[in-house]
Amino acid sequence: MRKFHTVDRKRALLLGSVALIALVGAVAAVRGGDPAQAQSVVAAAAPAVPVTVQTVASRPVQVWSSFSGRMRAVDFAEIRPEVSGRITSVRISDGQTVKAGDVLFVIAPAPYEAAVARAEANLASARTNAAFARTELDRAVNLVRNQAIAQRLYDERANADKVAAAAILVAEADLKQARINLEHAYVKAPISGRVSRAEVTLGNLVQAGAGAPVLTSIVSDNGIYADFQVDEQTYLKSIRGQTANRSEERTIPVQVTVQGDDSHPYVGTIDSFDNRIDTASGTIRARARFANRDGALMPGMFVSVKVGSGAAKEALLVQERAIGNDQSKRFVYVVGQNDKVAYREVSLGAQVDDQRIVLGGLTPGDRVIVDGLQHIRPDVTVAVKEAALAVPKHALATNFTSRP
Protein backbone atom coordinates (compact mmCIF):
# COMPACT_ATOMS: atom_id res chain seq x y z
CA MET A 1 0.00 0.00 0.00
CA ARG A 2 2.89 2.39 0.79
CA LYS A 3 4.37 1.69 -2.65
CA PHE A 4 1.21 2.86 -4.47
CA HIS A 5 1.06 6.06 -2.39
CA THR A 6 4.68 6.78 -3.31
CA VAL A 7 3.93 6.38 -7.04
CA ASP A 8 0.90 8.68 -6.84
CA ARG A 9 2.92 11.22 -4.92
CA LYS A 10 5.66 11.22 -7.56
CA ARG A 11 3.09 11.55 -10.37
CA ALA A 12 1.42 14.49 -8.61
CA LEU A 13 4.79 16.21 -8.08
CA LEU A 14 5.65 15.69 -11.76
CA LEU A 15 2.36 17.20 -12.99
CA GLY A 16 2.72 20.07 -10.56
CA SER A 17 6.21 20.77 -11.81
CA VAL A 18 4.99 20.89 -15.42
CA ALA A 19 2.16 23.24 -14.53
CA LEU A 20 4.55 25.42 -12.48
CA ILE A 21 6.99 25.66 -15.37
CA ALA A 22 4.17 26.64 -17.73
CA LEU A 23 2.94 29.25 -15.29
CA VAL A 24 6.44 30.69 -14.77
CA GLY A 25 6.90 30.89 -18.52
CA ALA A 26 3.61 32.65 -18.96
CA VAL A 27 4.37 35.11 -16.18
CA ALA A 28 7.78 35.80 -17.63
CA ALA A 29 6.28 36.44 -21.04
CA VAL A 30 3.72 38.83 -19.58
CA ARG A 31 6.43 40.69 -17.65
CA GLY A 32 8.36 40.86 -20.88
CA GLY A 33 5.41 42.68 -22.53
CA ASP A 34 4.22 39.86 -24.91
CA PRO A 35 0.72 38.54 -23.93
CA ALA A 36 0.37 36.58 -27.21
CA GLN A 37 3.55 34.73 -26.44
CA ALA A 38 2.21 34.00 -22.94
CA GLN A 39 -1.00 32.52 -24.36
CA SER A 40 0.95 30.37 -26.80
CA VAL A 41 3.16 29.16 -24.03
CA VAL A 42 0.17 28.11 -21.92
CA ALA A 43 -1.50 26.44 -24.92
CA ALA A 44 1.66 24.57 -25.78
CA ALA A 45 2.07 23.39 -22.23
CA ALA A 46 -1.57 22.15 -21.95
CA PRO A 47 -2.05 18.53 -23.07
CA ALA A 48 -4.25 17.86 -26.17
CA VAL A 49 -7.84 16.95 -25.25
CA PRO A 50 -8.87 13.55 -26.62
CA VAL A 51 -12.04 13.75 -28.78
CA THR A 52 -13.90 11.55 -31.24
CA VAL A 53 -14.83 13.03 -34.61
CA GLN A 54 -17.07 12.10 -37.49
CA THR A 55 -15.95 13.07 -40.98
CA VAL A 56 -18.93 14.51 -42.83
CA ALA A 57 -19.67 12.84 -46.17
CA SER A 58 -22.53 12.86 -48.65
CA ARG A 59 -24.69 9.71 -48.49
CA PRO A 60 -27.93 8.56 -50.14
CA VAL A 61 -30.81 8.95 -47.69
CA GLN A 62 -34.49 8.16 -48.19
CA VAL A 63 -36.58 10.52 -46.10
CA TRP A 64 -39.63 9.13 -44.31
CA SER A 65 -42.58 10.96 -42.79
CA SER A 66 -44.45 9.70 -39.75
CA PHE A 67 -48.22 9.86 -39.20
CA SER A 68 -50.86 8.08 -37.19
CA GLY A 69 -53.74 6.15 -38.70
CA ARG A 70 -56.39 3.45 -38.39
CA MET A 71 -56.62 0.11 -40.10
CA ARG A 72 -59.67 -0.43 -42.32
CA ALA A 73 -60.96 -3.53 -44.06
CA VAL A 74 -60.68 -3.53 -47.84
CA ASP A 75 -64.25 -4.88 -47.98
CA PHE A 76 -66.75 -4.99 -45.15
CA ALA A 77 -70.33 -6.28 -45.25
CA GLU A 78 -73.09 -6.38 -42.68
CA ILE A 79 -75.35 -9.36 -43.38
CA ARG A 80 -79.06 -8.60 -42.96
CA PRO A 81 -82.09 -10.73 -43.91
CA GLU A 82 -83.74 -9.86 -47.23
CA VAL A 83 -86.82 -11.99 -46.53
CA SER A 84 -88.85 -12.51 -43.37
CA GLY A 85 -89.15 -15.76 -41.46
CA ARG A 86 -87.75 -17.92 -38.71
CA ILE A 87 -84.04 -18.87 -38.59
CA THR A 88 -83.96 -22.63 -39.13
CA SER A 89 -80.20 -23.10 -39.51
CA VAL A 90 -76.99 -21.29 -38.53
CA ARG A 91 -74.10 -22.61 -40.58
CA ILE A 92 -71.20 -20.54 -39.27
CA SER A 93 -69.08 -20.46 -36.15
CA ASP A 94 -67.59 -17.34 -34.59
CA GLY A 95 -64.55 -16.06 -36.48
CA GLN A 96 -64.87 -18.59 -39.28
CA THR A 97 -63.33 -17.89 -42.68
CA VAL A 98 -65.86 -18.13 -45.49
CA LYS A 99 -65.89 -17.76 -49.26
CA ALA A 100 -68.27 -15.68 -51.33
CA GLY A 101 -71.42 -17.71 -51.92
CA ASP A 102 -71.20 -19.85 -48.78
CA VAL A 103 -74.53 -20.26 -46.94
CA LEU A 104 -74.42 -18.59 -43.53
CA PHE A 105 -78.04 -18.78 -42.32
CA VAL A 106 -81.24 -20.45 -43.52
CA ILE A 107 -84.60 -18.70 -43.09
CA ALA A 108 -87.52 -21.17 -43.22
CA PRO A 109 -87.67 -21.84 -46.98
CA ALA A 110 -91.02 -23.71 -47.15
CA PRO A 111 -93.21 -20.61 -47.74
CA TYR A 112 -90.90 -19.42 -50.49
CA GLU A 113 -90.77 -22.85 -52.11
CA ALA A 114 -94.58 -22.80 -52.20
CA ALA A 115 -94.52 -19.32 -53.72
CA VAL A 116 -92.20 -20.58 -56.46
CA ALA A 117 -94.53 -23.51 -57.20
CA ARG A 118 -97.52 -21.15 -57.34
CA ALA A 119 -95.69 -18.81 -59.71
CA GLU A 120 -94.69 -21.70 -61.96
CA ALA A 121 -98.33 -22.81 -62.16
CA ASN A 122 -99.49 -19.30 -62.98
CA LEU A 123 -96.93 -19.10 -65.73
CA ALA A 124 -98.07 -22.38 -67.19
CA SER A 125 -101.68 -21.17 -67.12
CA ALA A 126 -100.75 -17.91 -68.78
CA ARG A 127 -98.91 -19.70 -71.54
CA THR A 128 -101.92 -21.97 -72.15
CA ASN A 129 -104.26 -19.00 -72.34
CA ALA A 130 -101.90 -17.27 -74.69
CA ALA A 131 -101.79 -20.29 -76.97
CA PHE A 132 -105.60 -20.44 -77.12
CA ALA A 133 -105.81 -16.69 -77.80
CA ARG A 134 -103.31 -17.06 -80.63
CA THR A 135 -105.38 -19.87 -82.19
CA GLU A 136 -108.55 -17.82 -81.98
CA LEU A 137 -106.80 -14.88 -83.59
CA ASP A 138 -105.54 -17.02 -86.48
CA ARG A 139 -109.10 -18.24 -87.15
CA ALA A 140 -110.44 -14.73 -87.05
CA VAL A 141 -107.86 -13.62 -89.61
CA ASN A 142 -109.15 -16.11 -92.18
CA LEU A 143 -112.82 -15.40 -91.38
CA VAL A 144 -112.53 -11.65 -91.57
CA ARG A 145 -110.68 -11.98 -94.85
CA ASN A 146 -113.71 -13.83 -96.26
CA GLN A 147 -116.05 -11.40 -94.46
CA ALA A 148 -117.50 -14.32 -92.47
CA ILE A 149 -117.27 -12.42 -89.17
CA ALA A 150 -117.61 -8.84 -88.16
CA GLN A 151 -114.54 -6.64 -87.83
CA ARG A 152 -115.37 -6.05 -84.18
CA LEU A 153 -115.01 -9.76 -83.38
CA TYR A 154 -111.63 -9.81 -85.06
CA ASP A 155 -110.50 -6.81 -83.00
CA GLU A 156 -111.62 -8.51 -79.79
CA ARG A 157 -109.60 -11.64 -80.56
CA ALA A 158 -106.56 -9.60 -81.50
CA ASN A 159 -106.80 -7.74 -78.19
CA ALA A 160 -107.20 -11.02 -76.27
CA ASP A 161 -104.02 -12.29 -77.89
CA LYS A 162 -102.05 -9.25 -76.71
CA VAL A 163 -103.48 -9.50 -73.19
CA ALA A 164 -102.51 -13.18 -73.02
CA ALA A 165 -98.94 -12.36 -74.14
CA ALA A 166 -98.69 -9.68 -71.44
CA ALA A 167 -99.99 -12.14 -68.85
CA ILE A 168 -97.06 -14.41 -69.67
CA LEU A 169 -94.63 -11.58 -68.92
CA VAL A 170 -96.32 -10.90 -65.59
CA ALA A 171 -96.23 -14.58 -64.65
CA GLU A 172 -92.56 -14.81 -65.59
CA ALA A 173 -91.75 -11.76 -63.43
CA ASP A 174 -93.69 -13.24 -60.50
CA LEU A 175 -91.78 -16.51 -60.87
CA LYS A 176 -88.47 -14.67 -60.99
CA GLN A 177 -89.31 -12.76 -57.81
CA ALA A 178 -90.44 -15.94 -56.07
CA ARG A 179 -87.16 -17.64 -56.96
CA ILE A 180 -85.19 -14.62 -55.70
CA ASN A 181 -87.05 -14.75 -52.39
CA LEU A 182 -86.36 -18.46 -52.13
CA GLU A 183 -82.68 -17.83 -52.80
CA HIS A 184 -82.63 -15.09 -50.15
CA ALA A 185 -84.00 -17.59 -47.66
CA TYR A 186 -80.52 -19.10 -47.87
CA VAL A 187 -78.42 -16.18 -46.60
CA LYS A 188 -75.07 -16.29 -48.41
CA ALA A 189 -71.74 -14.53 -47.97
CA PRO A 190 -71.40 -11.67 -50.50
CA ILE A 191 -67.61 -11.52 -50.06
CA SER A 192 -64.85 -13.81 -48.91
CA GLY A 193 -63.38 -13.13 -45.51
CA ARG A 194 -63.76 -13.67 -41.80
CA VAL A 195 -67.17 -13.59 -40.15
CA SER A 196 -68.04 -12.11 -36.81
CA ARG A 197 -70.27 -13.90 -34.32
CA ALA A 198 -73.86 -14.87 -35.16
CA GLU A 199 -75.89 -11.96 -33.79
CA VAL A 200 -79.23 -13.80 -34.29
CA THR A 201 -79.40 -17.41 -33.21
CA LEU A 202 -81.42 -20.43 -34.24
CA GLY A 203 -85.22 -20.20 -33.90
CA ASN A 204 -85.53 -16.42 -33.88
CA LEU A 205 -87.95 -14.64 -36.18
CA VAL A 206 -86.44 -11.94 -38.41
CA GLN A 207 -88.09 -9.30 -40.56
CA ALA A 208 -86.80 -7.88 -43.83
CA GLY A 209 -86.88 -4.17 -44.56
CA ALA A 210 -85.33 -0.96 -43.27
CA GLY A 211 -85.17 -2.19 -39.67
CA ALA A 212 -83.77 -5.62 -40.50
CA PRO A 213 -81.35 -6.86 -37.83
CA VAL A 214 -77.68 -7.62 -38.49
CA LEU A 215 -77.20 -11.38 -38.63
CA THR A 216 -73.39 -11.17 -38.74
CA SER A 217 -70.64 -9.20 -40.50
CA ILE A 218 -67.72 -10.12 -42.75
CA VAL A 219 -64.36 -8.42 -43.25
CA SER A 220 -62.42 -9.32 -46.37
CA ASP A 221 -59.18 -11.25 -46.21
CA ASN A 222 -57.59 -9.90 -49.41
CA GLY A 223 -55.42 -7.30 -47.68
CA ILE A 224 -56.13 -4.35 -45.41
CA TYR A 225 -56.01 -0.56 -45.63
CA ALA A 226 -54.34 1.99 -43.39
CA ASP A 227 -56.19 5.33 -43.49
CA PHE A 228 -54.25 8.40 -42.38
CA GLN A 229 -53.92 12.12 -43.09
CA VAL A 230 -50.89 13.83 -44.64
CA ASP A 231 -50.15 17.48 -43.98
CA GLU A 232 -50.08 19.73 -47.01
CA GLN A 233 -46.36 20.57 -46.92
CA THR A 234 -45.28 16.94 -46.75
CA TYR A 235 -47.69 16.04 -49.55
CA LEU A 236 -46.39 18.78 -51.83
CA LYS A 237 -42.69 18.24 -51.14
CA SER A 238 -42.31 14.52 -50.57
CA ILE A 239 -45.12 13.08 -52.69
CA ARG A 240 -46.59 15.40 -55.31
CA GLY A 241 -43.16 16.88 -55.99
CA GLN A 242 -41.72 13.44 -56.82
CA THR A 243 -44.63 11.64 -58.50
CA ALA A 244 -46.48 12.59 -61.66
CA ASN A 245 -49.46 10.23 -61.61
CA ARG A 246 -51.29 7.62 -59.57
CA SER A 247 -49.14 4.77 -60.89
CA GLU A 248 -46.02 6.44 -59.52
CA GLU A 249 -47.77 7.18 -56.24
CA ARG A 250 -48.42 3.46 -55.80
CA THR A 251 -44.65 2.80 -55.84
CA ILE A 252 -44.14 4.91 -52.69
CA PRO A 253 -43.12 2.59 -49.82
CA VAL A 254 -45.13 2.60 -46.62
CA GLN A 255 -44.59 0.93 -43.25
CA VAL A 256 -46.96 0.52 -40.33
CA THR A 257 -46.19 -0.52 -36.79
CA VAL A 258 -48.65 -1.43 -34.08
CA GLN A 259 -48.38 0.27 -30.69
CA GLY A 260 -46.03 -1.70 -28.48
CA ASP A 261 -44.48 -3.59 -31.42
CA ASP A 262 -42.21 -1.05 -33.12
CA SER A 263 -39.68 -3.75 -33.99
CA HIS A 264 -42.07 -5.49 -36.39
CA PRO A 265 -43.00 -3.14 -39.27
CA TYR A 266 -45.45 -4.22 -41.99
CA VAL A 267 -44.51 -3.11 -45.50
CA GLY A 268 -47.02 -1.91 -48.09
CA THR A 269 -47.58 0.77 -50.72
CA ILE A 270 -49.73 3.85 -51.21
CA ASP A 271 -53.16 2.96 -52.58
CA SER A 272 -54.63 6.42 -53.11
CA PHE A 273 -54.77 10.06 -52.08
CA ASP A 274 -57.98 12.05 -51.86
CA ASN A 275 -58.98 14.53 -54.58
CA ARG A 276 -58.75 17.59 -52.34
CA ILE A 277 -56.99 19.09 -49.34
CA ASP A 278 -59.15 19.80 -46.31
CA THR A 279 -58.89 23.56 -45.76
CA ALA A 280 -59.92 23.26 -42.11
CA SER A 281 -57.10 20.90 -41.11
CA GLY A 282 -54.62 21.51 -43.95
CA THR A 283 -54.37 17.78 -44.63
CA ILE A 284 -55.22 15.35 -47.39
CA ARG A 285 -56.65 11.89 -46.78
CA ALA A 286 -54.39 9.02 -47.77
CA ARG A 287 -54.77 5.27 -47.89
CA ALA A 288 -52.09 2.56 -47.98
CA ARG A 289 -52.65 -1.12 -48.65
CA PHE A 290 -50.94 -4.09 -46.98
CA ALA A 291 -51.05 -7.77 -47.86
CA ASN A 292 -51.58 -8.81 -44.20
CA ARG A 293 -50.99 -12.46 -45.04
CA ASP A 294 -50.61 -13.45 -41.39
CA GLY A 295 -53.81 -11.64 -40.42
CA ALA A 296 -52.03 -9.78 -37.61
CA LEU A 297 -53.40 -6.39 -38.70
CA MET A 298 -57.06 -6.00 -37.84
CA PRO A 299 -59.60 -3.31 -38.78
CA GLY A 300 -59.82 -0.59 -36.15
CA MET A 301 -56.22 -0.87 -34.97
CA PHE A 302 -54.42 2.41 -34.19
CA VAL A 303 -51.06 2.32 -35.98
CA SER A 304 -48.04 4.45 -36.76
CA VAL A 305 -47.66 5.00 -40.51
CA LYS A 306 -44.32 5.88 -42.11
CA VAL A 307 -44.29 7.07 -45.71
CA GLY A 308 -41.03 7.05 -47.66
CA SER A 309 -39.97 9.61 -50.25
CA GLY A 310 -40.02 8.60 -53.88
CA ALA A 311 -36.24 8.14 -54.18
CA ALA A 312 -33.07 8.40 -52.09
CA LYS A 313 -31.26 11.74 -52.11
CA GLU A 314 -27.66 12.67 -51.35
CA ALA A 315 -27.33 14.45 -48.00
CA LEU A 316 -24.78 15.36 -45.34
CA LEU A 317 -25.38 13.75 -41.96
CA VAL A 318 -24.12 14.58 -38.49
CA GLN A 319 -24.68 12.83 -35.17
CA GLU A 320 -27.47 14.32 -33.07
CA ARG A 321 -25.27 14.34 -29.96
CA ALA A 322 -22.73 16.60 -31.73
CA ILE A 323 -25.24 19.43 -32.11
CA GLY A 324 -25.39 22.21 -29.56
CA ASN A 325 -27.92 25.00 -28.92
CA ASP A 326 -26.94 28.65 -28.73
CA GLN A 327 -30.25 30.42 -28.08
CA SER A 328 -32.02 30.09 -31.47
CA LYS A 329 -28.89 28.88 -33.25
CA ARG A 330 -27.65 25.34 -33.74
CA PHE A 331 -23.91 24.71 -33.88
CA VAL A 332 -21.20 22.04 -33.90
CA TYR A 333 -17.52 22.00 -33.11
CA VAL A 334 -15.19 21.01 -35.94
CA VAL A 335 -11.50 20.18 -35.91
CA GLY A 336 -9.63 22.58 -38.16
CA GLN A 337 -5.98 23.19 -38.99
CA ASN A 338 -3.38 22.11 -36.46
CA ASP A 339 -6.07 20.03 -34.74
CA LYS A 340 -7.66 23.08 -33.17
CA VAL A 341 -11.37 23.36 -32.33
CA ALA A 342 -13.58 25.77 -34.33
CA TYR A 343 -17.19 26.85 -33.72
CA ARG A 344 -19.49 26.29 -36.72
CA GLU A 345 -23.15 27.36 -36.97
CA VAL A 346 -25.28 24.90 -38.94
CA SER A 347 -28.72 24.67 -40.54
CA LEU A 348 -30.45 21.32 -39.99
CA GLY A 349 -33.11 19.27 -41.75
CA ALA A 350 -34.81 15.96 -41.08
CA GLN A 351 -33.82 13.46 -38.42
CA VAL A 352 -32.18 10.27 -39.69
CA ASP A 353 -32.27 7.70 -36.92
CA ASP A 354 -29.80 9.26 -34.41
CA GLN A 355 -28.41 11.69 -37.00
CA ARG A 356 -29.60 14.91 -38.65
CA ILE A 357 -29.45 16.08 -42.25
CA VAL A 358 -27.25 19.17 -42.58
CA LEU A 359 -28.66 21.80 -44.92
CA GLY A 360 -25.90 24.36 -44.46
CA GLY A 361 -22.77 25.22 -42.47
CA LEU A 362 -20.75 22.09 -43.24
CA THR A 363 -19.03 20.69 -46.31
CA PRO A 364 -17.90 17.14 -47.13
CA GLY A 365 -14.65 16.35 -45.33
CA ASP A 366 -15.31 18.51 -42.25
CA ARG A 367 -14.42 16.71 -39.02
CA VAL A 368 -17.22 17.20 -36.49
CA ILE A 369 -16.58 16.43 -32.81
CA VAL A 370 -19.13 13.92 -31.51
CA ASP A 371 -17.56 12.83 -28.20
CA GLY A 372 -15.55 14.79 -25.61
CA LEU A 373 -17.56 17.98 -26.08
CA GLN A 374 -17.66 18.76 -22.37
CA HIS A 375 -13.88 19.26 -22.26
CA ILE A 376 -13.38 21.57 -25.25
CA ARG A 377 -13.83 25.16 -26.38
CA PRO A 378 -12.78 27.08 -29.50
CA ASP A 379 -9.03 27.16 -30.27
CA VAL A 380 -8.29 24.22 -27.95
CA THR A 381 -5.89 21.64 -29.38
CA VAL A 382 -7.34 18.13 -29.49
CA ALA A 383 -6.18 14.59 -30.07
CA VAL A 384 -8.46 13.19 -32.79
CA LYS A 385 -9.99 9.73 -32.98
CA GLU A 386 -12.29 8.85 -35.92
CA ALA A 387 -15.73 7.48 -35.07
CA ALA A 388 -17.16 4.42 -36.80
CA LEU A 389 -19.42 5.21 -39.75
CA ALA A 390 -23.12 5.09 -38.82
CA VAL A 391 -25.34 3.79 -41.62
CA PRO A 392 -28.85 5.28 -41.41
CA LYS A 393 -31.86 3.01 -41.81
CA HIS A 394 -34.33 5.72 -42.75
CA ALA A 395 -35.28 9.31 -42.02
CA LEU A 396 -38.27 10.69 -40.22
CA ALA A 397 -39.00 13.99 -41.93
CA THR A 398 -41.93 14.98 -39.76
CA ASN A 399 -43.78 13.89 -36.67
CA PHE A 400 -47.23 15.04 -37.81
CA THR A 401 -49.98 12.94 -36.25
CA SER A 402 -53.63 12.59 -37.08
CA ARG A 403 -56.47 10.39 -35.91
CA PRO A 404 -58.89 9.55 -38.74
pLDDT, one tens digit per residue, over 193-230 is: 999 999 999 999 999 998 999 999 999 988 999 999 99
Q: What pLDDT does 114 receive?
A: 97
Q: What pLDDT does 389 receive?
A: 63
Give the start-to-end residue ranges of the domains of the chain. Answer: 2-45, 49-62+313-396, 65-74+223-308, 76-219
Q: Tell me the C-alpha to C-alpha distance, in Å, between residue 107 and each of 28, 87, 91, 112.
A: 110, 5, 11, 10
Per-position DSSP letters for 127-155, written without gaps between them: HHHHHHHHHHHHHHHHHHHTT-S-HHHHH
Q: What pLDDT does 261 receive?
A: 80
Q: What number does CATH give the domain 76-219? A: 2.40.50.100
Residues 65-74+223-308, CATH architecture = Beta Barrel (2.40)
**Residue 274: closest CA among 224, 219, 235:** 235
Q: What pLDDT does 191 receive?
A: 95
Measured between alpha carbons, how far is 221 from 234 in angstroms, rounded to an integer? 31
User: Side-chain half-sphere of 256: how many Cα atoms within 13 Å?
Assistant: 26
Q: What pLDDT does 259 receive?
A: 83
Q: Quick one: how many helices (H) and strands (E) in the chain?
A: 6, 24
Low-confidence ranges of the chain (pLDDT < 50): 1-33, 36, 38, 42-43, 398-404
Task: Assign a CATH topology to domain 49-62+313-396.
Answer: 2.40.420
Around Cβ 291, how many Cβ atoms within 10 Å? Answer: 13
Q: What pLDDT does 74 receive?
A: 94
Look at residue 185 and give its three-state secondary structure.
coil
Q: What pLDDT does 397 receive?
A: 52
Q: pTM of the full predicted structure?
A: 0.65
Measured between alpha carbons, how far is 99 from 20 in angstroms, rounded to an integer? 90
**Residue 63: closest CA among 398, 389, 402:** 398
User: Side-chain half-sphere of 97: how many Cα atoms within 13 Å?
Assistant: 4
Query: Which residues have CB under 8 Å from 186's CB, separation 6+?
Result: 103, 105, 106, 107, 109
Q: What pLDDT does 173 receive?
A: 97
Around Cβ 131, how many Cβ atoms within 10 Å? Answer: 13
Query: Which residues have CB under 8 Å from 400's CB, separation 6+?
Result: 65, 66, 67, 230, 231, 234
